[in-house]
Every structure is written in C-alpha cells, then in structure tokens.
Chains A and B, each alone.
Chain A
Amino acid sequence: MSLPFLLEIGTEEIPDWMIPGALENLRLLFEKLAIPHESITMDATPRRLVLRADGLPARQADSEERVMGPAKSAPAQAVAGFARKQGVAPEALTIETTSKGEYYSFTRKVAGRQIKDILAEALPGLILQIYFPKTMYWTVKGGPRFIRPIRWIVALLGEEIVPFEIAGVQSGALTSGHRRLGAREIAITPAGYEQRLRDHYVILSAEQRREKIRREMAGVAVKADPALLETLVYITEYPTAITGSFDPQFLALPEEVLVTVMRHHQKYFSVEDGHGGLAARFVAVMNIPSDPEGFVQRGNERVLRARFNDARFFWETDQKKSLAGRIPDLAHVTFQAKLGSYLEKTERMKALGKELGGDDHAIRAAGLAKCDLTTELVKEFTELQGVVGGLYARVQGEPEAVWQAIYDQYKPESMEDRIPRNRTGQIVSLADKLDTLRGCFRVGMIPSGSRDPFALRRASQGVVKILVEGKIELPLLDFLEGDQALIDFFADRVKFYFKDHRGFAYDEVNACMAAGWSNLVDLEARLVRVQNLRKTPDFEPLAASFKRIRNILEQAKFTGVADVDESLLEAGPEKALYEEYQRIGDQPLEDVISKLRPKIDLFFDKVLVNAPDAAVRKNRLDLLQSLSRKFSMIADFSEIVTHS
C-alpha cells in the first residue's frame, strides 16, 4: 500500500528571509528518517511550513535478526537457557558454522513497524530541530523553542492522523485559512489540501504567488528587484499587486532617497519613466485579493507621502549646514568606544589616505566622508550613509572626484558589488577600511567564527577587491602595522578572493602567495601566468621536479647561496642542465619551460645529487638552489599538486 504523507506546521508569521532555509532543513531532517517514499514537495507561507511526500508504505518491511548463542559444545543447560531467552524450544535453534567453530543460533522475525508510529515518535523532535537563526520560547521558561509559536499541526498519513504533541498543540487534520478571509479551522485530507487552502485564500505554492505578483505587475515598468519580490512572496499568503502614485514634485528629491523609502521602508517596487528616471508611481503588494474601495491604495499613498515629506524636510534642513561645517560635530559621534569618535577616525583616514598616495581630492574626500553621519537624512535612512554625503557634496559644489569618492566610500559592500568608480574613491575606501581593521585588531576586536560585529571580513574583502580590481600596486603588508593576526586574517581573505571569487585553483594560489602577496596586482599577474603555464604539458612534470628539488634541499638542510663551480660539473646531464640554466638569462619561464624540463628530468634520472665527494655534492646543491631561485619570484612551484 502506498500512502501520501502531509505535514503542515502552523505558526505565527515567520520572518520571510528564514523560510527557504527552514524548508530545506525540514526536507533533510525528514530524509534522514529513511522512510521509503517517492517524491517530496516542500511549500511554505509565512504561517505554515509544509512537507508532502508520496508513496510511503503503511508498514516497514519485516526483517530478520540472527542471534548467536552458545557453542555447539556448550552444556545443554546453557543451550536451554539461550532458547528460553529467545522464547522458543531448544529444537527451534539451528546450528551455524562460523570461522570460530559451530554455534547455536536463532533467527528471529522482526515485524516491520507501522510508519505512522515511526512518524509519531520522530516528528516532535524533528520539527523542533529545524534550524532558525533566532528562536523563542512561548509557553514557559525552558519550554520548546521555535522561530515563532506553533499554533496548529496537520500530520496525515493517508487519511489517518499521525498523533503527537508539541508545546500543548496536538497534531490533527485541521488547517487554518487566511487570517481574515479564511476559516480558522478547516478539515482536510492530503488529496484536497492545496485546493482547500486556495478556497480559504491561501496560495500554498511560493512559485504561484511569485507568478501572480509578476503577472499583475506585467503592465507596469517596475524596476526589477528580485530580492524584494522574494520578500513579498514570503510575507503574504494571498498576494495582490496594486499600483499607487505620488506627487511628481517629490521627483525633485534624489532618486536614491526615493527608492530607499519605497524599497526598504515600504517594500514597494519603484517604477521607471522610460527615460532613465523614476515615474511618480509605485507598486505595493498586499495580502488580500482585491481593493475594491481603494482603501489600501490610498492608505499606502498617504504613508508614502508622509515619508517623502519627512525626507524632503530632512533634505532641506541638512542643506542649511555644509558638510565641511559639520566636521567638528563628528567629535560627538562615536566610532567605537575604544577607538574614539568619528572626528579622530577622520583624521586618521586623512593621514592614511596620504600614505596610500592619495592626492588633494582624496584628502578632501576623506575629511568630509563621515560628515553625513550628522545629517538628519542619514539618521533617518542609515542605509544611505555615504550616498547622502556624496549627494550633498555634489550640491555644495565639491569637485566630481570628491563627491563621487564620498558617495562610493562604502563600496564594495559585497563580492559582487562594484569598487568605487574613481581612484580618489578607491583611496578613501581603502583608508576607511584599513583604519577600521587596524584599530579593531589593535584593541582585540578580532572576528571569530560567525561573530564579526564590525563586518571586518567584508571590510578586508573590500580592500583586496579594490587593490586588485583597481590595479593599485601598493605593498599591502606595509599598511598592516606588522600585526601578525591582521596579516594572517588578510592572507585568508586574499586566498578566498582568488580561489572562491576568481576561480584559481587552491594550489596555484598557495604557490603564488608563497612567493609573496604584498602587491596584489603582481600576485594576480603571476596567478594568470601560472594558470596559463599549467595548460602546457611540461608544467606538471616541472612542478614535480621543483618539489623534488625542495625536498632534497630541505633534507640536506642546504642554505647555500654560492655560485655553481663549473669545474666540478660532470659532463653529460649535469653539464647540460647547467648550460640550459645559463641560457635562460632573463627569458620568462613560458619561453624556456619546454627546453628546461627534459634537462631536469635527465639530470634526476642519471645524476646522483648526494655524491660521495662533499665538494661535488655541495656544487650540485648549489645548482639546484640556483634553479629553484630562478623562478621563485613567480611562485613556489613545489606547492603545485601534481598527479604524476
């Protein structure tokens, strides 16, 4: 018999961004139960996590368990005792021949358990095991924890309830509809479940909710915003898109401000006007099917008007005081308790900007960069820090290089984000991030595990990205104040950048970094060379040879730096290798690899490095040392993992 299984965990509203992860986690936990099934479907709305599986058996298959008893030679008493323990007569035992001799054994039939029983036993623990970033308790202290209170549970195997209880909630066959448009208790079966929910204004499938929103927005030129769409999909059970408008006068405010208000504060899509600007319209997604009286549209329009009015008020108030005039106010804004105010940070950023080779524009931008933290607009819309400073600097007549640098100072905010658009901005961003990193490490605020309250990983990743992608040939290590923890931290970030973001092989990254990584532009160039070299047939054997050379030098504890003594060279492979080495001169490895490789191979094939004569031995080590140093500026090739 093949049964459908339905599990619906009914909760109060789960934060939208946690839902997809929780669903995936629930699926994995269910699969770990190893109950045979054909397919699994996962669905969720803010108020329910749903797992549906098909083709479950009603019972586990029967199995046999063999129990070994005493040896055949054991006294009859022992045999009888064993049989009694198994609940059978001694005649029912069989004799089995094992490597240790003959033994009594009994094969017990184990009846398969009811799947319903297995589920009833496993589900409470399984449900409470679903991972959420932050959980709560809602009954009493020490009670079960979940993301939000669990209010109902549907657990059906076929038409039968899988009985269990969590936090006083008994599983059953009753689901719950939309909070205001559906019934509070709806009897269901697995077959009719999705349609019953639909009748009660719950669209179970995220894909269908997504499509519904898309379809309803199709006629409007909304700014594409996949992240916002996902939020709206998981914050509604019956989404419906509606369009509203606002007074075009507000379009005089910077687009950045308008979009932030609409997107972050109101969860609206903004609409394009077809000429690269914004239209005075927006799309909101509500959690009901229609707005016949226009209540929802007008309500949202009013909220947006108030928000825009606030923004305009702040924009105008802030203009009364220039950015430069706000510098002294930074003394009252804490950067970090142990690291002082933003005024102090600003001074450090200016000095560091200069050391980083910044021009007058860069110093000016560094000096003004943090001033927007004292503006009303940034206090209200913190996510616009930097951007607002840039916009004010532009209005106040700062040169393009300066206002753009202020605008871009927090870039890149992720690995995918662009770096600041001009060199001035790149220097300011570097100065800001390096100052934060140095300061935090100095006072011991070092990220550990997932704890990184100052987002230092992101800051250091930003430094790496700016240096490489901005082609800034600065010696990074010179700016890390010899702080070993910080140097190690950066080494990890550099590796991560080239390996995970740029796709270089880990051994290539290790090899090239072993030859130095202070100048990241140079490191990138060497990585590209090694990556290309690797495609040539001579590369891996050569790398293997370099590994051999390193081993030999290490075993010999050889640290010599002497020139090779030609008179001690033996004619044949040794001499030939030396001559090849001399011919290299200043030629790059790419040009000589094919000639060098056979000579090295032959050398190792025919010549005994560990010669009995100490002088000859030393000379051979000198030769290998010279060879290894010749290309050690590119990479430590012995780090390359070879397959030969």
Chain B
Amino acid sequence: MPSFQEIIFKLKEYWAERGCVIQEPYDVEVGAGTMCPETFLRVLGPSPYSVAYVQPSRRPADGRYGDNPNRLFKHSQLQVILKPAPEDVIEQYLGSLEAIGIDLRHHDIKFEEDNWEAPTLGAWGIGWQVMLDGLEVTQFTYFQQCGGIDLDLVPAEITYGLERLTAFLQVKDSVYDIDWTKDFTYGYVRYRDELQYSVYNFEMADIPTLWKLFELHEGEAARLLSLYDPKSAHKKRFPLLPAYDHVLKCSNLFNTLDSRGAISVTERVGMIQRVRKIAVGVAQAWADQQSDAVSEVAQ
C-alpha cells in the first residue's frame, strides 16, 4: 500500500518522465493550484509548457477544526499542466492512475461533465470530474480563457485531490488516518493546522486588520499595474510577477474575511469584482509582456 508521500513521488516521477518540469509548491497562499503563476500566467501566450507540482490549497470556509473526516481547510492538489494538450492526454492521465497502483480493469472510471469557471480570474474551461468507483478523484479541464483572454494553445489541466486519492488507495474512511509515511499519519502531521486555522479563520481573525491588509495589497497591485507601459522598450523587466503575488494575497484575504462572516451582501459582489480587476489586469499585461510581436512593434 503506497503512503501519501509515495503516491506524490510516483505521480511526480510519472509526469517528469512525460516531459514535465517538476515545480515545488508556490510560496504564496492560494485557494487552488490553478491560481499559481505556473498555471494562471503560463497558460497565456503561444509558448508551450509542461509542469507538475503539489500545491497546498487553502479554503478558509472549508475548515472543520479537524473534526470532519473528509473536509479540510488546507488540502493538497497535484496540479499538472500540459500546454498544448497532447492528443492522448486522457490515456496519459489514466496511465498515471495505474502508475500509483490502480488496476483500471477492475475499477470503474467515469468522466462526468464538469466545466470549471473562476469568475475572479476571468478564467474558464471545459472538462470533467473523474469518478473512480463513485469517488471524485480528479478535475480535468481544457482551459479556454484566462484573464478574459482566449488562449492561443489549449492546455489540459489535471488536478488530483491527493488526500482523497490516498484515502481511496489505503482504504481509509478519514483523511486523518491515512499514512503519510509508514510511521506517521496525516492527522499526526496536519491536525494542528486544521484546528488552529479554523479557530483563526472563524473566530479570531481581526476583521479591521484583514481589511487593511486587503487594501494594502490591492493598492500595491493596482499601483504596479498603472505603471506598466506596453510601449516601453524595457517592459520585459517590469515586475508583473510580484504584482500577481499581491493579487493572490487579496484573494486569500477575501476568502478569510468571507469565512469570518465579515463581508456583507453589498460588499461581496464588489469585492469579487475588485479581485477580478487586478487579476485580469495582471493577466493582460503579462500576455502583452510575453508577446514578442508586440515588443518588436514597440522597438
């Protein structure tokens, strides 16, 4: 029976063998692997890219103080981006399940329609949730738009829910019981995070402080964006990646404020638009910055 980390090792190895860059998790808090620059920005533009990484993903509202056996404040996604999507991408994906020891001749696999959409990122795609013996183990998406921009090459995004997949393989009813290694369980490693962040997110986060932080990060992202000049000969050195970090900060603060019950009806829609504005702003500037045709015109 593979441990949690062995499953991760095997999946990384599998995708490395298929030409993926193996990245480490992004070092700014995100709600999903999609939001990392390795996905959100790299899918833009005409350059191919293949990458795989584990991304701890924070969903403040999903925290359950470590009480619920299936629900986590922070779960781990294995995110794979294949740009452009190879023709046999589904075969490759199924092969990855076999690589971690699932014999698909004896298991039931189904692809159920599930189109993905992230309004705050101006992003959407077409795809499925992949069901393995009735359990959703993967989200599979062909990206169509990101930051409101039609993508030049269509990437396939494969997002594995690692805890679920491991619980499935190890036949465990609670994620806290899965073996991270042969000596340590998932609960042993992670229970404290779940408890403490639930307490913070639901009870103790200081609302005025979070608001202030939100505005500071938003302001910094907006300030940078206002300075980006598409006609500048030096635009390739412009710090859009740092600007995007501030967008991610805003997104996480928004989620925390929301779980804290601090966002009123009227504010909510406006907040989503505020995050969307800077996220889309970065995406569009990035697409411009990466496009050589445009910079040639500028020279």
Inter-chain contact B70/A296, CB cutoff 8 Å:
no
Tell me the complex Cα distance, A528–B94, Å: 62
Query: Once the chains bind, are A284 and B134 in contact (CB under 8 Å)?
Result: yes
For this complex, into which size category does the number of interface residues on chain B fall? 35 or more
Q: Give per-residue flags for B251-281: 1 if the beta carbon is below 8 A from chain A beta carbons, else 0.
A: 0000000000100111011000000000000
Given A236-B110, A334-B265, A340-B265; 19 other pairs, CB 8 A cutoff: A136-B126, A136-B154, A137-B144, A138-B85, A141-B150, A179-B94, A179-B104, A179-B109, A180-B104, A184-B91, A235-B112, A288-B105, A288-B108, A299-B133, A309-B69, A332-B261, A332-B264, A332-B265, A337-B266
With beta carbons under 8 angstroms apart, the residue of B68, B134, B150, B265 that contacts A266 is B134
Interface centre among B69, B94, B135 (most CB of A within 10 A): B135
**Bound: A138/B90 CA distance, A:** 13
Residues of B within 8 Å of A519, CB to CB, are: none
Assess whether B154 is in contact with A140, with CB atoms less than 8 Å apart.
Answer: yes
Q: Is the CB of B110 within 8 A of A299?
A: no
Q: Which residues of A contact B108 (CB under 8 A)?
A: 284, 286-288, 291, 296, 299
Partner of B133, one of A141, A268, A295: A295
Contacts of B265 in A (CB 8 A): 331-334, 337, 340-341
Q: Which residues of A lie under 8 Å from residue B109 when comparing CB positions?
A: 179-180, 287
In the complex the two chains form, what is the Cα distance from A306 to B133 in whole Å?
A: 13
Query: Any chain A CB within 8 A of the CB of B237?
Result: no
3 closest cross-chain pairs (CB), A and B:
A299-B133, A286-B108, A15-B113
With contacts A46-B111, A288-B105 known, is A306 near B94, CB below 8 A? no
CA distance A151 to B85 in the complex (A): 12
| B152 beta carbon closer than 8 Å to chain A | yes
Smallest CB separation, A496 vs chain B (Å): 30
Query: In A1-42, which residues have CB < 8 Å from any B CB?
Result: 12-13, 15-16
Closest chain-A Cβ to B172's Cβ sits at a distance in Å of 9
Contact flags (1/0) for A292-335 with B, using CB distance below 8 Å? 11011011101111100110010000000000000000011110
- Min Cβ gap A374→B in Å is 11
| Nearest-Cβ distance from residue B261 to partner chain A, whole angstroms | 7
Contact B151 A141 (CB under 8 A): yes
Contacting residues, chain B, for A180 (C-beta < 8 A): 94, 104-105, 109
A502 part of interface (Cβ distance < 8 Å): no
A178 to B293, CA, bound (A): 45
B171: chain A residues within 8 A (beta carbon): 298, 302
Verify B126–A134 contact, CB threshold 8 A: yes
Provide the bound-state CA to CA distance between A13 and B269, in Å: 35
The CA-CA distance from A70 to B90 in the complex, in Å, is 66
Question: A136, A299, A305: which contacts B107 (Cβ < 8 A)?
Answer: A299
Q: How far is the CB of A180 from chain B (nearest CB, A)?
A: 4
* A-B CB contacts (within 8 Å), total count: 113
Contact of B173 among A148, A291, A293, A305 (CB under 8 A): A305
Chain A nearest CB from B55 CB (Å) reads 23
A sample of 7 cross-chain residue pairs with beta-carbon separation below 8 angstroms, ordered by A number, consists of A13-B111, A140-B153, A141-B151, A149-B142, A266-B134, A295-B133, A303-B135
CB distance from A129 to the nearest CB of B (A): 19
A309 to B: closest C-beta gap in Å: 7
Question: Is the Cβ of A313 less than 8 Å from the Cβ of B126?
Answer: no
Who on chain B is nearest to A293 by CB? B106
Contact A181 B134, CB 8 Å, known A136-B144, A306-B173: no
Q: Is the CB of A334 within 8 A of B110?
A: no
Q: What residue in chain B is nearest A180 (Cβ atoms)?
A: B104
| A139 contacts the other chain (CB 8 A) | yes
Q: How far is the CB of A439 from chain B (nearest CB, A)?
A: 14
What's the Cα separation between A460 and B135 when bound, in Å? 39
Check if B228 is an interface residue, CB within 8 A of chain A: no
Return chain B residues, CB-CB under 8 Å to A140: 84, 152-154
Cβ B269 vs Cβ A337 within 8 A: yes
A306-B70 in contact given A46-B111, A137-B144, A341-B265 (Cβ < 8 Å): yes
Chain B: which residue is nearest A184 at the CB level?
B91
Known: A141-B150, A306-B70. A16 touches B113 (CB 8 A): yes
Quick check: is B128 within 8 A (CB to CB) of the other chain?
A: yes
Name A12's closest neighbour in chain B (CB-CB): B90
Also in contact, A296 and B133, with CB within 8 A (given A139-B154, A140-B153, A333-B265): yes
Distance in angstroms between the alpha carbons of A619 and B72 in the assembled complex: 87
Q: Report the interface size for chain A: residues with CB under 8 A from the other chain.
A: 50
- Does B111 lie within 8 Å of A295, measured CB to CB? no
Interface string of B127-145 (1 = CB under 8 A from A): 0100011110000001010
Please report the C-alpha to C-alpha distance between residue A12 and residue B86 in the assembled complex, in whole angstroms. 13
Instruction: Please give, as numbers and ranges, the residues of chain A lying within 8 Å of B70 by CB-CB distance.
Output: 306, 309-310
Contacts of B91 in A (CB 8 A): 184
Residue among B105, B150, B168 with most chain A CB within 10 A: B105
The answer to whether B87 has its CB under 8 Å from any CB of chain A is yes
User: B115: CB under 8 A from chain A?
Assistant: yes
Q: Render B149-175 as a binary contact track against A, CB cut-off 8 A, 1 for contact.
A: 011111000000000000010010100
What is the bound-complex CA distance between A295 and B104, given in angstroms?
11
Nearest opposing residue in chain A for B108, CB measure: A286
Interface string of B55-95 (1 = CB under 8 A from A): 00000000000001111000000000000110100110010
- Which B residues touch A12, using CB under 8 A? 90, 111
A228-240 toward B: CB 8 Å interface, digit per residue (1/0)? 0000000110000
A292 with B106: CB separation less than 8 A: yes
Whole-angstrom distance between the alpha carbons of A511 and B272 in the complex?
51
Contact check, A299 vs B134: say whether CB atoms are below 8 A apart.
Answer: yes
A332 contact set on B, CB distance < 8 A: 261, 264-265
B126 near A300 (CB under 8 angstroms)? no
Closest chain-A Cβ to B89's Cβ sits at a distance in Å of 9
Distance in angstroms from A134 CB to nearest chain B CB is 7
Residues facing B in A130-174 (CB within 8 A) are 134, 136-141, 148-149, 151
Q: When A180-B105, A295-B133 are in contact, do A138 and B128 touch as well, CB less than 8 Å?
A: no
| Inter-subunit contact B128/A303 (CB<8 Å) | no
Residues on the B chain within 8 Å of A303, using CB: 133-135
Report yes or no: A300 in contact with B133, Cβ–Cβ below 8 A. Answer: yes
- Residues of the B chain whose Cβ atoms lie less than 8 Å from the Cβ of A333: 265
Q: How far is the CA of A300 from the CA of B168 in the complex (A)?
A: 10
Query: CB-CB < 8 A to B85: which residues of A?
Result: 138, 149
Q: How far is the CA of A296 from the CA of B71 in the complex (A)?
A: 23
Question: Which residues of the other chain, A, contact B110 by a CB distance below 8 angstroms?
Answer: 235-236, 287
Q: Smallest CB-CB separation from B168: which chain A residue? A: A299
Chain A hits for B142, CB < 8 A:
136, 138, 149
**Given the known A-B contacts A148-B126, A306-B70, are A141 and B152 also in contact in the complex, defined by CB atoms under 8 Å?**
yes
Contact with A along B34-70 (1 / 0, CB 8 A): 0000000000000000000000000000000000111
Known: A139-B154, A266-B134. A306 touches B69 (CB 8 A): yes
Chain B residue nearest to A178 in the complex (CB): B105
Min Cβ gap A131→B in Å is 16
Chain A: CB-nearest residue to B149: A141
A235 to B269, CA, bound (A): 37
* Contact of A181 with B105 at beta-carbon distance under 8 Å, contacts A140-B153, A141-B151, A310-B70 already known: yes
The complex places the Cα of A134 from the Cα of B124 at a distance, in Å, of 12
Q: Are B134 and A300 within 8 A (Cβ)?
A: yes
A134 near B115 with CB under 8 A, answer: yes
Q: How far is the CB of A638 from chain B (nearest CB, A)?
A: 51
Complex CA distance for A334 and B266, rounded to whole angstroms: 8
In the bound complex, what is the Cα–Cα distance between A120 and B265 (angstroms)?
A: 57
Interface-central residue, B84, B108, B269, by most chain A CB under 10 Å: B108
Chain B: minimal CB distance from A16 (Å): 7
Query: How far apart are the CA atoms of A305 and B112 in the complex, in Å?
Result: 21
Q: What CA separation (Å) do A311 and B54 show in the bound complex?
A: 30
Q: Would you call A138 and B154 a contact (CB within 8 A)? A: yes
Which of chain A's residues have a CB closer than 8 A to the CB of B150? 141
Establish whether residues B268 and A334, one from each chain, have CB atoms under 8 Å apart when the complex forms.
yes
Cα distance A333–B70 in the bound complex, in angstroms: 26
> How far apart are B218's CB and chain A's nearest CB, in angstroms?
20
Chain B residues in 8 Å Cβ range of A299: 107-108, 132-135, 168
